[in-house]
Structure 1
């Protein structure tokens, strides 16, 4: 029994021990199972934070790299070119110097002009080419400098990879271009020649036929030069000609041909007044053989020119402020007055005419014309539809002016004058200490003044077709001056 109990107890003891062991083992197992799971989570957390740190570090380094990459070093972005010239990573001054050299090269190029069997090389610069890099340099410098850092980075990377090619600005100085072309090509032109006229000794008109010309087609040439791509090899240009037609043909002149004498007028002078006679001769000589085209103005001052001592004019009496006084070129108003009457009789249109202050004797009242260079002039418009030829002739005591032109058969011109009123002169007495008491001398004869109206009448085959009122003439009186002794 004792052994049995002992055995049972022993067995029981093992059983209990096993139970305890099992329990302890279970507890240990449960304790052991929890501890490995806690370590794994910690390892995972540690890896996460390490990874996060690495990512943040990379991001910071990337941001710093981007910041450093996009940092403004005042250089043009890599990959930027101007007209295929690389200016990337250059400062503004370096880029400007580089482009100035390129511009100098471009403008120093030649274009070859082929004219007939000749060739001419002309530099672009001499032809007026203007190339500028200012705008392109400014645009190049601004690339990748605007926007956020991200935008700058994207733009800079894109520019570096793909490249950006800007263009130099180009224009032409039109005036310089035309001047240079005309200067170098003028000798190749054969300009048209207008039909011309010669006057025979018999005052008839001989017509010389016109010539058709051949000249450089400047418009075509300028257009071709402006179309040149100066950034490639300069080409050869074949210069074209164009026909140049004359402005005046023989057929036109035939229609405007001088056919005969239109009018003639003569005035007389005192040959003893040598200075005055010489002035009349000089002015008449200047007018002789002058040709006035249809529609042009016949101007006395333009034809005769300025009256100077160098031209040979001398002092003679002229009218100044209502008095006869010595003056240079006195007497030429007789020539202008003679021309005025000839022009009236030729039925020319009067566009400027002034009468003298005082009445003169070599033409009828109302038919004189005074002149003074340059403004006081006698002018006609050549309204005859044909050419006018002025002929001036001198004799010992007379000057005659003739106008030849397109004669209208049956036309007759008459000039008439009407004195509207006479203004009496006054008598002035001046004391002269050199004269005896009661003695008197007439120093100046008096002359009345006049208001005169003039008319031009046009007849065709004896019938009046027009009466024209000419400009009114007003002459001041000249006082009679008597010197008396005191």
Structure 2
């Protein structure tokens, strides 16, 4: 290979000498100017002295790196200051060392080397432009990094003690959009590279070139905005209903209060179905239920959880007066003292639930208040001011009590003793009337309920003739499934 190189130089020298003579070869090899037509990234250098061309490239890259980017942060919610950086400070670099080295090589080596190099010199050279994104990001974040520490605040909704619905606005957070800013500066830098040739003769103008940009800020909304929260439709208290348990023993009062605590603040989405059984289960787990009278097969007996149906019944009355749809509801087998017949809702574990559907079209919040042995259920949501629902219960028939006789060893023959006075039963129909702007719009029957009569219990002496007023009576208690109303307990499976 070395031999071929030497041979090429000899041949080239002979050709030059043959065609131009040694003087011409000497002048060609020692030419101090850049060959005609040579450009560096569009900058015309042909015909310039090599040293002058190299100096021009050095000055050009220095001035190119001194171009400024001015960032203005003028968002009133964020900041109000500006900062200027040179391209060099932002991580941009222009390196002409390779092109300068190529130019200087025109004057290096022996006569033949210089002649050969000039003869094959590239017409187009380039400047090496580079960028370090980490330097860019560091510069911006050192100036405004505190913006990224801001945090969102969710909007809040509070229902006050006097039943006002109060909203507190949300607050946005802000984040530096460094990616967008970097892309904007990169585009400007690319444009400056293509326009550099027209400015090469005026390096001072190039160095004063400036880009002004607003600081791009991304707004981060909280998960819960005021608009989203208000869209749920909790506008006001739409219904309230109160029942009294002043005569209840401590166990029953405890059960009512505990269940009301768990029911408090339950929120239903549109069309969500509420199940009272879930409230009972949650209360039993959190507080436990105490002993209080329950209804089993039409009789008051000791049990666990007595009083829980006062909560479901109070809720039921608020629900029907707010116009919501009832999915499942059954009356007690006996009338209750705290409500008119036809307007109660019982519960029995595994057998009877109270369920309704939130048909308001918006969210619904249930609030409970227990004070002075009174239970109040309040509904908060959406209901037009010009709408109300009237409830009316009508007794359509009564059921006379039967007489149930048992033989007593302590009574003489013919003796009779009433040990329990019977009570009438009832058949009741309950209607709901929709009134809008004071005018009746519709009337619907909500339920037809039967309340069992309680038999008169009579003890008779041996040999006494049974009364002619005996009715069909009730089945033996042992033959009935042990349905426990108004309490908690395991129910026998249905037949």
The TM-score normalised by the length of structure 1 is: 0.49
Higher gyration radius (CA)? 1
